[in-house]
Amino acid sequence: MATHRDLSIGVVGGGIGGLSAALSLLAAGFDVQVYERASALGEIGAGLQVSPNATRILHGLGLEKELAETGVRPRALLQRRWEDGRTLLDTPQGDRLEAAFGFPYYQMRRADLLAALAAAIPPERLHLGRRLTGLDQNHDVVRAEFADGSSADVDVLVGADGIHSFVQGELFGAERPRFTGCVAYRGLIPSDRLSHLSLEVTTQVWLGPGRHFVHYFVGGGRFLNFVAVVEQDTWTRESWTDRGDVADALAAYDGWHPQVSAILGTVEETYVWALFDRPPLPRWSQGRVTLLGDACHPMLPFMAQGAAQSIEDGAALAACLAENPGDPAEALQRYERIRRPRAGHIQSLSLENKTRFHLPDGPGQQARDAAMADGATNLSMNAITAIYGHDATLLPAL
């Protein structure tokens, strides 16, 4: 009978999903190697939110101290009206959320979380500059071939290589992600530039016709992360992420509440990021190869669950392989059966929020606001319980 240490696992991709999966697999006792195409680790985007369903896993991997040092614990999530600033929904976070779910909610710089994950990986297991160019598998082994001419034979290969996933294309055929009709201006602002606004330590989501605006503190409170999402018919830039024009962002929010324009007025540099997704895949796995994170369920960031779901994927994958190391292909099928419905559901909730956040003023918007006042939206305390209370390390009974 195969044991954990007999099983070698290659993880393709050194982002948050790939590194957290590698740590979960290492903690389960597997022989893990990570292959990242870039010569240095990096993450697209400035900030992210790490909800209790993810901090539960990260604490279990020994990163509690690192999260506390670099994360910010917001008091609440506020959803506000674009013009008058009225609070439509106040969802508790902070101590109340931790008491409800047992683990904290953090706002963080992506770079801080990535650095914490990378520091926990033994350096000899992290291989940079290794771009995957081919893979081949038989009943017993997967061979990964890289652009530098090297190769690796592993028992299991995990594609954590993002929305452009090479592994996904090799398994099921290349499929171009779809432009969702939204672009996001994003960046970080030193907090001292905003001291005159006396901003609360909250996540604030401003809802308005055809766009929304998000801001929250990161980096231990040293920076304010902002994301300004605007509907746009087409995307013509060659890069998915490029320098944006601050004047364009200001113009897009002309007439909005003074707090929004005041925040944007302090911005010196912004990047613009096209938001892409893909319909849920019918399959994630083939033989001894599987996918996780954006490689199989890229989602809009409107539930703040993209990173959390990739972290859940890695924990569930490790648990499935630990349960059945003697039959990796069946373990991957079990992983897929467990994870695909949950990730697909959260994908759909994220897509629904694109419509809900951007309603034009009128009857639909008024009905939305009334539902929010009743706590009936998917970011209310009642609605998020199924997301935040989930423990991906616990597998359902066979």
The β-bridge relationship of strands 31-35 and 126-127 is: parallel
What is the domain extent for residue 342?
A: 4-73+108-176+278-356
Query: How far apart, in whole angstroms, are the C-alpha atoms of residue 345 and residue 349?
Result: 6
Catalytic site residue from 105, 185, 216, 388: 216
Sign of the CA dihedral with 193 first, then 196, 197, and 201 last: positive
Residue 11: inside a domain: yes
**Assigned domain for 301 exists:** yes
Distance CA 172, CA 283 (A): 8
Cα(11)–Cα(130) distance, integer angstroms = 11
Known catalytic membership, residue 271: no
Tell me if 26 is assigned to some domain: yes
Furthest CA-CA distance within the chain? 67
The CATH number of the domain where 351 resides is what?
3.50.50.60
Query: Is position 378 within any domain?
Result: no
Domain count, the chain: 1
Each residue's pLDDT, cut to its tens digit, for the chain (398 residues) gives 445 667 999 999 999 999 999 999 999 999 999 999 998 887 666 899 999 999 999 999 999 999 999 999 999 999 999 999 999 999 889 999 999 999 999 999 999 999 999 999 999 999 999 999 999 998 899 999 999 999 999 999 999 999 989 999 999 998 888 899 999 999 999 999 999 999 999 999 999 999 999 999 999 999 999 999 999 988 766 555 677 889 999 999 999 999 999 999 999 889 888 898 888 899 999 999 999 999 999 999 999 999 999 999 999 999 999 999 999 999 999 999 999 999 999 999 999 999 999 999 999 999 999 988 887 777 777 778 899 999 999 999 87
Assess if residue 393 is contained within a domain: no
Does 271 map to a domain? no
230 in any annotated domain: no
Question: Could you tell me if residue 119 is inside a domain?
Answer: yes
